[in-house]
Amino acid sequence: VTAREIADLIEKMYGSHYSPAQVSNISKQMIPKVEAYHKRKLSDKFFCVYLDAAYVPLRRETFEREAVYIAIGIKPNGRKEV
């Protein structure tokens, strides 16, 4: 998806206008945060793990809905980790 397409989607969905350059700058700032999130160390012990999916409606020609999967682990001390 291009920065221009993202800017158009944001404007259609939320009514806020961002230029493609602004979208590109925001994306560049977020990349390190997303990479750090993906590389984080997960706890090696969970009391139980819940798995679920929510179907989100899409405005695409190929799919009407797409699943977003979530896993929540509960540690022995009761803390939750997504």
Compute the distance between CA of residue 12 and CA of residue 9 in angstroms, rounded to an integer: 5
The 10s digit of each residue's pLDDT in 18-70 is 999 999 999 999 999 999 988 988 777 888 999 999 888 877 777 678 888 99
Structure tokens given for 24: 């590109």
pLDDT given for residue 12 in this prediction: 87
Q: Which long-range contacts (CB under 8 A, 24 or more apart) does 28-34 make?
A: none
Question: E strand or H helix at 26, and its extent?
Answer: helix 20-39
pLDDT given for residue 28 in this prediction: 92
pLDDT: which is higher, 61 or 79: 79
